[in-house]
Amino acid sequence: KLHASFGLTFGQLERVFDRAVGARRGSAFCDVYLEAGTTQSLTWDQGNLKSTNNSVVCGAGVRVVIEDK
């Protein structure tokens, strides 16, 4: 599912963790947040369909905490 939703393999994600934490493995914390979603909307005006909208949202964030800082 990771690859289907974000085009990432487990190995690529592992490299992100390795690069983010680096040599501080014992004193650092790292997490990766991945988000994917869709929205659809219809706008009606006096009983007539005025517009439609479809949006796809994908994103990622990396957080690294080193020695409680």
Convert the pLDDT of each residue in 50-69 to its tens digit.
Answer: 999 999 988 889 888 887 75
Residue 8 has pLDDT above 80, yes or no: yes
The partner residues of 44 in beta bridges, in order of sequence, read 49
What's the pLDDT at 69? 58
Mean of the per-residue pLDDT values of the chain: 86
Q: What percent of the chain has pLDDT over 90?
A: 26
What average pLDDT does range 21-36 have in this prediction?
A: 81
pTM over 0.75: no
36: left (phi over 0), alpha (psi -120 to 50) or beta: beta
What's the pLDDT at 43? 96
